[in-house]
Amino acid sequence: MAHRKTSAPKRGSLGVRPRKRATEFIPRVKSWPLLQLETPRVLGFIGYKVGMTHVILVDDRPGTPTQGKEVFVPVTIIETPPAIPIAVRVYGINEYGGYSLLKDVWIEPPKEIEIWRRIPAYRPSSNISDRIEWIKNNLQNIKRVSLVMAANVKAVGGLSKKTPDILEVVVEGGDVAQRVTYSLEVLGKTIHVDTVFNPGQFIDIIGVTKGKGFQGVIKRFGVKELPRWHKHRKGSRRIGSRSPTIGAMSEVPQPGQMGFHRRTEFNKRIIAIGDSGYEITPSGGFPHYGIVKSKWLMIWGSCVGVPKRPLILRWPIRPPRWQPSGSPKIVYISL
pLDDT reported for residue 229: 67
The pLDDT value recorded for residue 253 is 83
Q: Which domain holds residue 311?
A: 41-210+260-333
| β-pair type (83-93, 144-151) | antiparallel
Q: For residue range 254-286, what is the model confidence (pLDDT) as tens digits?
A: 899 999 999 999 999 999 999 988 899 998 999
Q: How many domains does the chain have?
A: 1
Evaluate whether residue 112 is within a structural domain.
Answer: yes
Tell me the whole-structure pTM to 2 decimals: 0.90
* pLDDT the model gives residue 170: 97
The answer to whether residue 135 sits within a structural domain is yes
In a domain, residue 231? The reply is: no
Specify the pLDDT at position 14: 67
Q: In the prediction, which pLDDT does 124 show?
A: 84
Report CA torsion sign: 35, 166, 113, 127: negative
| 29 assigned to some structural domain | no
Q: Which residues does the chain have with pLDDT short of 50?
A: none
pLDDT of 179-208, one tens digit each?
999 999 999 999 999 999 999 999 999 999
Following DSSP, what letter does each residue of 303-322 receive, concatenated? -SS-TT-EEEEE--SS--S-
Q: Can you give the CATH number for the domain in which 75 is found?
A: 2.40.30.10
